[in-house]
Copies of this chain bind each other. A is one copy, B any other.
Amino acid sequence: MDNKEKNFTSENGDSSSKTTPQTASKDGSICGFDSLHRLLQACLSPPLFQEASRMLLGLNCGQALETITLPDPAAALASKHDFDLQAYYLRADKESLREPRIVRVGLIQNSISLPTTAPFSDQKRAIFEKLTPIIEAAGASGVNIICLQEAWMMPFAFCTREKRWCEFAEPFDGESTQFLQEFARKYNMVIVNPILERDIKHGETIWNTAVIIGNRGNIIGKHRKNHIPRVGDFNESTYYMEGNTGHPVFETVYGKIAVNICYGRHHPLNWLAFGLNGAEIVFNPSATVGELSEPMWPIEARNAAIANSYFVGSINRVGTEVFPNPFTSGDGKPEHAEFGHFYGSSHFSAPDASCTPSLSRFKDGLMISDLDLNLCRQLKDKWGFRMTARYELYADLLARYVKPDFEPQVISDPLLHKSA
């Protein structure tokens, strides 16, 4: 299902080799390119590409995108297993009283491995096998924290409304968590593990959950998705309810992290809450398709990073998943058996409004960035958003808004309802 991909993986590709544009395909591919960044790189002269990409990546005048050279074994794994591997440096200013706090963070995006008609146990094992070299590449690169995509251990079957897919759900300390705990121990790595959870102690209920695995393989805690979509084929509200874990920030050896799962990225208040609780990096493991959300994708995470003075790691799965039985989208169009194209495009956003390029729209990938967490406080000191936010106004407004008899503050033109 990745056969539309093009190979423009080199960051220093020959920009003179202009390709013949193709028309946009069903998966919304950009004239055959797998990201806007790579399209511009292939088609603009080097100085114009540098300037256009500087604008698109939110870099200031004279500021350049800084890449990291990874160890050969990581590059070899990417080449052998055909996943997109990119690595960048997001710097902070040097301080007088604090050393830099540089954390190497990784984001993994992947398609499923076997058809959804294969036995469930085979499907899950095949995903484990597919992920292994990508996680190994992260380990070989010295990555400190890694986050996988939403419900990575299964197809994103919630479009179907069929309850048999609940079989994939696991206890928070189940098979998938155990699989990743091994890597956490092996590489001294914190791993954010978004799964479909079965809550055994509460009557075997289902949740959309991220389990936080510490760098020694211990389970630090979990967070459950706060906001559940009811849009398009995203029939997740058929499967699980809004999370009951608040907005926890997990203090790990590498920094304070939080997880805003998928649809929660559309809610600025959800982003805000993780910020108020002290997050320095918020991951947004997602599964979302092109026609529905791609225009929003480059906007929401960057805005959250700016507004809350933290880093954001955005992850989206890739590929098109086809299910055995057809379903409809409630949009009057014919029934269909595929969810649409999950467009990948995982990337980092920084509190200074900059961001990295995105991973491929088609290929599995590992995005690595060195984040100097000092940048968070530097931006707080510079812009003062917390101190100028007037939270008491909004505490009062929301307290009034949630009451059934809320009256909006509206000032009507007194001439409005008089005749001329």
Judged by a CB distance under 8 angstroms, whether A199 is at the interface is: no
Contact B402 A392 (CB under 8 A): yes
The reply to whether B227 and A389 form a contact with Cβ atoms under 8 Å apart is yes
- Could you say how many copies of this chain the assembly holds? 2
Residue A92 interfacial (CB < 8 Å): no
Q: Which residues of B contact A393 (CB under 8 A)?
A: 226, 246, 269, 273
**Contacting pair B62 A24 (CB below 8 A):** yes
Nearest B residue to A266, CB-CB: B385
A397 touching B273, Cβ below 8 Å: yes
A295–B248 contact, CB under 8 A? no
Please provide the chain A residues from 192 to 245 with a CB less than 8 Å away from any CB of chain B in the complex: 212, 214-216, 218, 220-221, 226-231, 242
Enumerate chain B residues within 8 angstroms of A228, measured Cβ to Cβ.
Answer: 388
Q: A347 on the interface (CB 8 Å rule)? A: no
Interface membership of A401, Cβ < 8 A: yes
Q: Least Cβ distance of A419 to chain B in Å?
A: 12
Chain A residues bordering chain B, tally (CB within 8 A):
98
Separation of A90 and B412 alpha carbons in the complex (Å):
26
Q: Which residue of B lies closest to A226 (CB)?
A: B390
A65 to chain B, nearest CB (A): 13
User: Contact check: which of B55, B58, B388, B411 meets A229 at CB < 8 Å?
Assistant: B388
Q: When each residue 147-178 of chain A gets 1 if its CB lies under 8 Å from chain B and 0 otherwise, what string results?
A: 00000000000000000000000000000000
A271-306 interface bits toward B, Cβ cutoff 8 Å, 1 = contact, 0 = none: 111001110000000000011001110011011001
Asked if A77 is at the interface (CB within 8 A of a chain B CB), the reply is: no
- Using an 8 Å CB-CB cutoff, how does the interface string of A250-270 with B read, 1 for contact, 0 for none? 111100100000010011110
Q: Which of A36-44, A94-102, A110-118, A319-327 contacts B (4 or more CB under 8 A)?
A: A36-44
Chain B residue with the shortest CB-CB distance to A392? B402
Q: How far is the CB of A409 from chain B (nearest CB, A)?
A: 5
Residue of B nearest to A222 (CB): B411
Which B residues are CB-close (under 8 A) to A39?
A: 48, 51-52
Most chain B beta-carbon neighbours within 10 Å: one of A21, A228, A271, A395: A395
Whether the Cβ atoms of A410 and B51 lie closer than 8 Å is no
A80 at the interface (CB under 8 A from B): no
Which residues from chain B contact A397 at a C-beta distance below 8 Å? 247, 273, 276
Q: Is the CB of A267 within 8 A of B307?
A: yes
Which residues of chain B are within 8 angstroms of A140 by Cβ–Cβ distance? none
Look across to chain B and name the residue whose beta carbon is closest to the beta carbon of A40.
B52
